[in-house]
Amino acid sequence: MSMTDRYFDSLIERLETVRETQRDALDQAAEICAAAIAADGLVFTFGTGHGAFPALESFPRSGTIVGFRPIPESTMISFHRVWGDMGARQYRFIHAQEGYGTAILSSHQLKATDAMVIYSHSGINAVVLDIALAVKDLGMKLVAVTSLPHSSASPARHSSGKRLYEVADVVIDTGVPKADAALAVEGMRHPVGANSTSITIAIAHAINALTAERLVARGIEPMVMVNPNTADKAIADKQNDANYAELWRRLKNR
């Protein structure tokens, strides 16, 4: 079997496993998100490193709804440089420093009626736990999207002794193996073919779509980002400007 087939087969298998085993967790997550948005609140999303990708996909991009609010901390997403400022080594240092997550949240006005979704493959590093524990202290509901095979087999790195899945109200298990990469190549010591990012982004959009469905069931029509490159651009721009205005309304009322 070709490497291409092996990779896509492994990814499809993991997506199928998430679909079959995480239905209840996804439904619970959507209920939490819908309740926050219906209460005129926000669903904050956060992740460090590759975990920032699904957080950023939550809004504003085509097909996502108003009410999701990514926290794109620049020091947490600039990990692709291996030389120079804001690079991989700085990221590796910073995401392990306790107190930094608390400092991040101090720049965002969160309410107990808001919700938080945190994406973290390992669920063990300091910044992620800082934020998880802080939002729970505020009385917010917390959804964790994490790998239980990885996290449950790894010691906690936070002084609380907790891992993300041990703090969250709802845990969505990606099922991705500890190494993240899934494919062995003869003659290589380490596996290749990472799939945690693909799985978590799929989960992020599933949560978003399920939340929209739950809002409609509550009698609330969510505001949706429209792709201006496939629809009438003037209509799409008008809709998206209204979306931005609605998000700003929710933010400025704090």
Beta strands in the chain (DSSP E): 43-47, 68-70, 115-120, 141-146, 170-173, 181-183, 192-194
Q: Is 70 left (phi over 0), alpha (psi -120 to 50) or beta?
A: beta
In whole angstroms, give the CA distance from residue 159 to residue 87.
Answer: 26
Q: What is the pTM of this model?
A: 0.95
What is the pLDDT at residue 106? 93
pLDDT tens per residue across span 70-121: 998 888 887 777 778 878 888 889 898 999 999 999 999 999 999 999 999 9
User: Mean pLDDT score of the chain, rounded to an integer?
Assistant: 94
Find tokens 């790998």 and name the residue. Answer: 147
Give the DSSP per-residue string, 160-179. Answer: T---GGGT-SEEEE----TT
| Predicted confidence (pLDDT) per residue in 136-156, tens digit | 999 999 999 999 999 999 999
Query: Does residue 220 have a pLDDT over 80?
Result: yes
Domain count, the chain: 1
Q: Which domain holds residue 206?
A: 3-252
Q: Tell me the CATH number at 23.
A: 3.40.50.10490
